[in-house]
Structure 1
Amino acid sequence: MAAISLRHVSKQYGQHAPVLRDVDLDIAEHEFCVFLGPSGCGKSTLLRIIAGLEDTTTGELRIGDRRMNETPPAERGVAMVFQSYALFPHMSVFDNMGFGLRIAGVPKEEIRRRVTDAAGVLQLDALLDRKPRQLSGGQRQRVAIGRAIVREPKVFLFDEPLSNLDAALRGQTRIEIARLHSRYREASSVYVTHDQVEAMTLADKIVLLRSGDDVARMGSIAQVGAPLDLYHRPASLFVAGFIGSPRMNFLPAVIESISDDAIGLRLSDSGERLTMSGHAWRRPLHTGERVTLGIRPEHLCVTPDGEAVKPECAIVRTVQLVEQLGEAAYVHLDQPGGAPLLAKMPGTASLRRGDRHAFHLSNGAWHLFDEQGHAIVFDRDREVLIAA
């Protein structure tokens, strides 16, 4: 069993604000769980608590059916891959991968078998006699991963392992890590990153931790769920603004009318009126209530020529800048009283600076947040995922 359970785990250094606050979390056997969040949110500290490199201030950690709070790191059945490769420069690849086993007193033949098997999986067979200085960055990271594999752990822990690699190597190594996880079906994986692309592509489950902007909530869990749950159904403004690149557009608004299946909004900065239909809400709403309307760039579409504009689900804006990326174009739109809005269009879009168009807000893809930043409406056809 390699399931991980954290109950009311907190971590505080001295009299400073807690780094982690009351973390309750279950990671299933063979699940790939990613801790995601901005710098300083406590994700690496949480990983180090699982590894045994940090003690909890309060709370309990269990791996399988064993309490691990007092268990030394070497006896927890975990293996960690660090951001830095941490290879011994005077040792060969073979000796680096087998060093931990040799220290543990594993017989030489068993060490050779495990290292050879791991090298085959990681395509390091031809490099076993080389020193780290003779390897590329990606090869060094694979050696570090191989050093973890040979221990045959119950849990793999990855602490931002791709941050030192260039973009091409990050993509390649990310695929290798995903394949490794599929191969070792008895082990769970916990992965720390601030890169949401890594999180979205690798994770079965994302644990998004709050940033330090709100000291009173720093180090607590903002939301837990599958990657697309967090993307399509963010439980708060923080989640909506962090998940997604480019980030979600936010427009301040006031609720003007409420019916059984629609909400009438007036945008605070422009005075435009919109109608949200096909949504449900999690609590009673009130006319005059101040809210924030969220819309992702890909759901803000220019109304085609010749098609009638529906004013209740469109806004009129002037193009300020067009960024052509080939397969897509990022169109920056003026926004009275706030930062420019961003629309993501196909690369064939023919918009130019100074053009003024009606931009349609795809119904069913709107998000609404209250003054405390909590999500209050969602698509009727989907469940909303409540923040942990």
Structure 2
Amino acid sequence: MSDIRTLALQCRDAAQQLGQLSTQARSALLVSMADALGADAPGILAANEKDLQAARDKGVGTAMLDRLALNPSRLAGVADALREVAALPDPVGEVTRDYVRPNGIRVQKVRVPLGVIAMIYEARPNVTADAAALCIKAGNGVILRGGSEAIHSNMAIAASLKRALRQAGLPEAALTLVEDLRRETMLELLQLNDIIDLAIPRGGEGLIRFVAEHARVPVIKHYKGVCHLFVDDSADLDLAVRLLIDGKVSRPAACNSLETLLVHEAIASRFLPVAAAALRERGVELRGDTATQALLADVLPASEADYAAEYLDLILSIRVVPDMGAAIAHIQRYTSDHTEVIATGNPAHGETFVHALRSAVVMVNASSRFSDGGELGLGAEIGISTTRLHSYGPMGLEALTVERFVVRGEGQVRH
């Protein structure tokens, strides 16, 4: 039996123990894990610095470095996210339907853990803790396969979390970190459809496509985040600038950052100079269509590839559109089904925008950066799905459960 199959079987056995714990026990475990991260912060940050230095030596880009980096504040935020998940309502055991059939049998649909979740991710070491917290809260075992660029950080975080499992008298295998980072091992993991119940890849488009193309287990995924902001002719322009700056500049490497700005032609001459000044002040490179270039100096021409691009950097594409219909048509052509935003003072326009688009998250007068599990009240998110399966959009605890039927009778038979 291969090592990865053995690890997966051990995780499955441990998951069965987790699923039988009370809500209080699983929540207390997460609080202990958060405390362990705080106690081990110096060692975790030192391990992270090893990963950062190796990345710098390889000349990786700023976006990857930002995803990889931990600091005291970020690590404290990771621990706080575990406490927030611990405090969330437990979906396990929730009755979502309850009815009695004419023959007297009582039928319920009840949430139960999925079983074993395989997380395959790169760069972001916080995923190690976030994924473990959500999976364990929902009664699942988790197999974590991070990237080589974060291996020291991931091992240090996993060691802290495992200590909390040991102290609670639970099997460490409930949280399994794969330290063998060969591609062959990952491929074997993705074939274990008799053990793994769901795979969730998080990272660049290349990684996600690789997982989707090679997995024999179900995969929840999103390939990229090409997020748009449309500034309607009725918009409060100061509000629109705030949404634009927060969406583009606050963390450009995030998948919920803005990549394209669409502006109604009726307000373009008033809005774009102000918006461009604010963006340039913050180091954003602008690329636009001919109408944009006519209004703004030093704007690079935007190509079709630009409008389809997920920059994950301080670069923004701009297009001036004649009306909301043209804005919607542009988004429908280039969307990645992640997050779309409208700035508008007309509620009817906001509703039209919402109903015309099928993206996982649609915002009216709110920043795209709220497209996040924590910000939407889910606690730390385990991923974002743009595949229309059992979960769509940011994924929290409920997405790690499945509804089954529980039937209670008094001896009824069908025939």
Same fold (TM over 0.5): no
- TM-score between both structures, scaled by the size of structure 2: 0.25
Return the structure number with greater relative CO, CA threshold 8 A, min gap 6: 2
More strand as a share of residues: 1
More helix as a share of residues: 2
